Amino acid sequence: MTEFYWQLPTGGDNRSGAFDQLSRNTRPTPNATIRDLRRNQFNNFDYLSQIARAAEMAGFDGLSIPYDAEGESAWIVAGAIAREVRRPKLVIDFSPGLGSAVYAAKQAVTFQRYSGNRLGWALASNADGAARRALGDFVNDADLAARLEEFLTVSKGVASQADFTFKGRFFEVLNGGFGGPLSGLDLPEITLSGDSDEALILSAKHADVHVFALGTYDLEDRVATLKAQAAEHSRTVRIAVKARVFTHDDAARARLDAERASFSEDADTLAGDFAGVASELARLGADRFILFAPNSLETAYRIGEHVLPLVRQSQRQAA
Amino acid sequence: MSSQIDFFWRLPTHGCSSSVRNPDLSRGDWVPLKEGNQAPGLYEGVSDGTTYIDHVAQIAKAAEISGFHGGLIPSFPMTDDPWVISSHLARETKTFRFMIAFQPGFINPVETARLTASLQRATGGRALFNIITGGGGPSQLWWGDSFAHDDRYGRTTEFLDILKGVWKDGPFSYDGRFYSVEGGTLPPALAATDLPEIYFSGSSDAALASASKHADFYLTWLEPFEQLKAKFAAVKEKTDALGRRIKCSIRVDLIARPTEEEAWADAKAGFEATAHKRSDSFRQASDSVGAARQAAFKASDAKHYDDLIIGPNLWTGFSLLRGGPALGIVGSYEQCAERLDELIALGADGFILAGTPHLEEAYRVGEEVLPLVRGRQASLSIAAE
Ligand SMILES: Cc1cc2nc3c(=O)[nH]c(=O)nc-3n(C[C@H](O)[C@H](O)[C@H](O)COP(=O)(O)O)c2cc1C
């Protein structure tokens, strides 16, 4: 079955700015004739939590929690919603270059224990060297892949083996490995991304899921290349496609919404009526879709109520 | 400086026992699942679906409702992780402050600033740190950290320089021995949150140098009172010399009972219940000065529980009952409050208390002991004596 993930606006959407202004008292009461009790009570976390619940209730299988330079920490968002959202998987964007691989694995294991193995890691470092240095990360472009591989070796090693020792260029550990109830948990599912040849080679070896943006040049060819490379390692990598969605029972209104939000020309935008979006998703045929929208709450409901049932019904019929 | 005293509790991060008289763990999954166990429990033959965080949530709620500001959340190789605990409980507690025990080497300072500022937003400003710098030895290498003792403190100082700089003075650049950053910032909504209060643990000279620059509270385990008095005076003097103010807090376990007799009976029962597997968690390879002071009590050599009494209501057997420091307080509610008052008189501005079981004892200590603490009023009369 195709999986559907909803992507949370960790950097805010059209509505969360208003939440933050309320929380910071930076805005006068919108209408002074109305007594307003909201001040200092809410911020973007309240909104993110509501969107997460919306996605759960609307039937999404998971939540994608992205890194956004202007936004919240994905780790903290995932933790803060984990006890409110009980079924969906929680996949956080995470850079392997910002701390110890052992410590990251330790955090992941605690998370798995509390959440019933629902954590996934979408691993990536910022591709821009200056942006990395602003995060305190001075690794060279040429070393990014090697570091990612070491990170995976060490984080998987300590989580799955007692007495694990490793000394690499970026990480080391001596007689490490988690014991007792911290051992034997599922490792976070690993999502990687990118459409370069190097990205596909890395994914073929290490990824559980590889994400392509909708509109990726020659998508079918890239997918076929990745699958073939993975097969050489006797592995399978699930394919995810990420898209921004505008949908409505009237296709013209969906396109109007996309235009108003200035996204109608973007290659990763999908705009159409419910049946049109459903059939486009069926045509793309990914193992997983990661969907998002500038009106995150409303769109999660719309897709869950009108699009997912169409896709799932047609898949059941085909099966 | 406020003369009020700050009381925190402690969240156990690797299980808890249901009685100090029988310290075998029974809460959490560090023991096999059996009938009567908590979080997870066994219900009609299968796991009831609760996990350890459900129990930790109970303790946090007990602590906040019984008057503690929050809890220290320790981090060791066998424990769960304090960041994950804090974020999980952010939205279901009201006033509880999350004191994250954190070794600066493990996540870089810019990322830590983002994590912490987001946690401030998720909790409404309830995040704070216990900055720890690690005990060296095999467990430091277990974590993947091979730096030597004084280098680790150098790294801690740089870490806090950058954490504060990125948060409050971004775009911030720094070129240190351990960390560098070019133009680091936080997004405005995150930067607008308050810096977390910094508690700081470590007894060596290197620790005091770093604490005096960055800490709001200097945190220590309980040590013999005269030794503590000297320690607090030294920290405060060092900090004054930098034109800063620092407060002092003591992390200490209590066995507080309606009468002294009952309290010692429980200490004795715990001592005897653990006799068959004597081990002293603090006598391990470590470069920690503070841990060496606790190990020097040689608790595991004692034949009788009362060999370990070193002063009125002072017992060095706590390290036999659970992982952690040796010296703690055993007495009636009144006596416990008196000992705390004495510690306030010699310079303590706050405490992180704990007792086993953490849930019920949070209520007991909050209800029975804290109301008897006279704080600075008592200090005046103790000084006059
Ligand atoms: C109150 C207190 C709490 C501590 N909590 C932790 C902890 O949670 N995890 C840890 O690894 N070390 C902890 N430590 C130990 C410190 O990391 C460190 O080993 C010790 O303070 C060493 O420094 P020193 O040589 O300066 O005494 C704690 C120490 C104190 C005093």
Distance from the Cα of A116 to chain B's closest Cα (Å) equals 9
How far apart are alpha carbons B158 and B358 in whole angstroms?
Answer: 35
Q: Mean pLDDT score of chain A, rounded to an integer?
A: 94
Query: What's the confidence (pLDDT) of residue A30?
Result: 66
Which residue ranges form the domains of chain B, and what is each CATH number?
Answer: 6-102+201-372 (3.20.20.30)
Among the partner residues B92, B106, B189, nearest to A20 by beta-carbon distance = B189
Convert the pLDDT of each residue in B331-357 to its tens digit: 999 999 999 999 999 999 999 999 999
Average pLDDT over residues B170-190: 96
Chain B contacts in chain A segment 215-254 (CB below 8 A): none
Query: What's the confidence (pLDDT) of residue A73?
Result: 97
How far apart are alpha carbons B269 and B315 in whole angstroms?
Answer: 14
Q: Read off φ and ψ for residue B192, nearest 5 degrees.
A: -75, -15
Domain ranges of chain A: 207-319
This prediction's pTM: 0.95
CA B32-B36-B38 angle, to 5 degrees, is 70
The chain A residue lying nearest B176, using CA atoms, is A136
Convert the pLDDT of each residue in A88-144 to its tens digit: 999 999 999 999 999 999 999 999 999 999 999 999 999 999 999 999 999 999 999
Q: Mean pLDDT score of chain B, rounded to an integer?
A: 94
* Cβ atoms of residues B352 and B72 within 8 Å: yes
B3 CA → ligand 1 middle, Å? 27
Query: What's the confidence (pLDDT) of residue B23?
Result: 85
| pLDDT of B82 above 90 | yes
Mutate to test the pocket of ligand 1, among B201, B227, B251 (most ligand atoms within 8 A of CB): B201
Short-list B8, B260, B80, B365, CA closest to A181: B80
How far apart are alpha carbons A232 and B370 in whole angstroms?
Answer: 67
Convert the pLDDT of each residue in A28-42 to its tens digit: 666 778 777 777 778
Supply the residue whose CA is at minimum distance from atom 17 of ligand 1. Answer: B134
Chain A residues whose CB is inside 8 A of the B55 CB are none
Query: What's the confidence (pLDDT) of residue A142?
Result: 96
B114 inside 8 A of chain A by CB: yes
Mutate to test the pocket of ligand 1, among B10, B205, B227, B288 (most ligand atoms within 8 A of CB): B288
Query: What's the confidence (pLDDT) of residue A99?
Result: 96
| pLDDT of B289 above 60 | yes
Query: What's the confidence (pLDDT) of residue B61?
Result: 98
* Cβ atoms of residues B71 and B10 within 8 Å: yes
Convert the pLDDT of each residue in B31-47 to its tens digit: 989 888 999 999 999 99
Chain B contacts in chain A segment 140-199 (CB below 8 A): 154, 171-176, 178-182
| pLDDT of B302 above 70 | yes
The least confident of A297-306, B37-46, B116-125 is B37-46
How far apart are alpha carbons B85 and B335 in whole angstroms?
Answer: 34
Percent with pLDDT over 90 in chain B: 84
Query: What's the confidence (pLDDT) of residue B1?
Result: 42
Short-list A125, A98, A124, CA closest to B111: A98
The chain A residue lying nearest B57, using CA atoms, is A83
Decide whether any atom of ligand 1 lies within 6 Å of the B202 Cβ: yes
Query: What's the confidence (pLDDT) of residue A12?
Result: 85
Q: In terms of C-beta distances under 8 Å and separation of at least 24 residues, what long-range contacts does A28-32 make, across chains too?
A: none
Q: How far apart are the first and last CA of chain B?
A: 25
How far apart are alpha carbons B376 and B343 in whole angstroms?
Answer: 10
Convert the pLDDT of each residue in A261-283 to its tens digit: 999 999 999 999 999 999 999 99
| pLDDT of A25 above 70 | no
Query: What's the confidence (pLDDT) of residue A35?
Result: 77
Decide whether any atom of ligand 1 lies within 6 Å of the B37 Cβ: no
**B331: which strand partners?**
B256
Convert the pLDDT of each residue in B198-227 to its tens digit: 999 998 999 999 999 999 999 999 999 999
Q: Which residues of A124-150 are buried (b: 16+ CB within 10 A; e: fewer)?
A: bbbeeeeebbbbbbebeeeebbebbbb
